[in-house]
Amino acid sequence: MNLIEYLNIRENKSSFTNSFKLLIISYFLLLISSFISNIFIKLIDMILTNQLHIKSLLLNQKASHSRIFKYGYTNGVIMICLLGPLIEEGIFRLWLSFDKRHIAISISILCYVAMGNKWPINFHTYQIYLEIILAGFIFLISNKVLEYKNGLIIHFFQSNTSKIYIMSILLFGLVHISNFKPIHYNLFYIYPIFVIPQIIMGYFLTNLRVKSGFIWAVLLHILINTTSVLLFL
């Protein structure tokens, strides 16, 4: 069983042709919606800058993105266009199959990221290997726990499917508030407006993941991030 078969196991997905069509349609709809939402965001940013006399939040976001490239353009592209989409999809959408192994993988990836790993990865230190081993243990433990409670968990997910999808979409968008540095905590109610493009992106990614499978959501994420790098960075 190869990786693609494993990640899509137990899921009845669309044919390759239908999935590819949905990927292309989602890509262009996402580009259009992102373009429109960014115009609105720039207007809000302009109002905040002129009325509250604070530094542009969009400039803070751009500066945050630029820091990814401080270790070189190649490393930045790999992180944004490949590893970033794979990690984020692993955390936010892999587990939407409600398969216990997928859930366990998502938990282990989340814990690995929470350990505060730096980019680029330094394979010459023991820390990275300890973190990988720990993430592996977390997967094994999570898988066992989920296997023991599999019936209850599946019932909970199936009873709250729509709410879980919405939660995944919103969390994916809101976590991108961390791209704005420094964060003005007195404007916490404003930041959700600035991640509307990511929330919209979360919708299209979730829709594609549910209808076609995890790999297709990763491909869409890679396409969008690559387009962003080519156009804006």
CB of 98 within 8 A of CB of 154?
A: yes
Which residues have C-beta within 8 Å of that of residue 207, sequence separation ≥ 6? 26
Report DSSP state, residue 55.
-
- Lookup: tokens for 225: 């991030």
R_g over Cα of the chain: 19
What pLDDT, on a 0 to 100 scale, did the predictor assign at position 19? 94
Give residue 10's pLDDT. Answer: 45
pLDDT at 204: 97
Taking residue 13's Cβ as centre, other Cβ atoms within 10 Å add up to 16
Residue 6 Rama label (left phi>0; alpha psi -120 to 50; beta): alpha
* Token reading at 132: 């990988």
- 56: part of which helix (H) or strand (E)? none
Classify 189 as helix, strand or coil.
Answer: coil
Which residue numbers in the chain have pLDDT < 70?
1-14, 62-71, 117-124, 232-233
Name, in order, each residue with C-beta under 8 angstroms of 177's C-beta and a sequence gap of 6 or more: 183, 191, 192, 194, 195
**Structure confidence at residue 148 (pLDDT):** 77
Report how far apart the first and last C-alpha atoms of the chain are (Å, whole number): 38
Residue 103: other Cβ atoms inside 10 A: 21
Helix axes 161-174, 84-92, angle to 10 degrees: 150
pTM: 0.87
Three-class secondary structure assignment of 83-122: HHHHHHHHHHCHHHHCCHHHHHHHHHHHHHHHCCCCCCCC
